[in-house]
Chains A and B, each alone.
Chain A
Amino acid sequence: GAGVSQTPSNKVTEKGKYVELRCDPISGHTALYWYRQSLGQGPEFLIYFQGTGAADDSGLPNDRFFAVRPEGSVSTLKIQRTERGDSAMYLCASSLLPGSSYEQYFGPGTRLTVT
């Protein structure tokens, strides 16, 4: 079946602009995660959704970052007033249920470049 998909694959924006990154999880997966991966580093946790609610947003770096999942499926990561330091690969992952018995499947990522 289809895996996790993310759009766009690449996004170039100017400093100060607003961007939205979309994640389509595997159908039926209730848990959804956003990670950020800088060059040469491992993925860094941003936020986790169980269903429609953000169960853990402790990884969001500041209030310019926000994410929603209004219908418990597709999620959108929103970044306001982008800064050059926001440039990174943004990865989304989903799992059937939360908990370590359920593998997290990653999407291909969105590479964000802030000029």
Chain B
Amino acid sequence: GENVEQHPSTLSVQEGDSAVIKCTYSDSASNYFPWYKQELGKRPQLIIDIRSNVGEKKDQRIAVTLNKTAKHFSLHITETQPEDSAVYFCAARISGGYNKLIFGAGTRLAVHP
């Protein structure tokens, strides 16, 4: 079935460093890839997304890249801050689905001052 794998499961960085989280998906027809941030005890919130017709998208300190051939997409956070500490989930929209999202298992990011 459809599957999204996410790595690493935990990531620890120093404030100001960059963080990279990687995901791979199994359905080659997937066409939409959102990233959600979930702080402890709170709801997931969309932080950035990318569609299959572009290779990269940036929003201030956050960027996402997509390699359709490799079925691989990544989240890049630059100049990390303590408030970036959270669990990050990647997801893929399954082709033919009604915006049904398949999520990765999550990456717990800790940014140390």
Interface residues of A (CB under 8 A from B): 4, 31, 33, 35, 40-45, 48, 50, 55-56, 59, 91, 95, 98-100, 102-109
| CB of B12 within 8 Å of the partner chain | no
| CB of B89 within 8 Å of the partner chain | yes
Closest residue on chain B to residue A31 by CB atoms: B99
Assuming the contacts A50-B98, A100-B51, asked whether A108 and B42 have C-beta atoms less than 8 A apart, the reply is yes
By DSSP majority rule, is chain B's interface helix, strand, loop, or mixed? strand
Q: Is the pair B98, A41 in contact by a Cβ cutoff of 8 Å?
A: no
A98, B93: Cα distance in complex, Å: 11
6 contacts between A and B (CB under 8 A): A33-B99, A33-B100, A42-B103, A42-B105, A104-B99, A108-B43
Please name the 6 residue pairs, one residue from A and one from B, whose CB atoms are nearest each other, closest first: A42-B103, A100-B32, A106-B43, A98-B98, A42-B89, A106-B44
A109, B41: Cα distance in complex, Å: 9
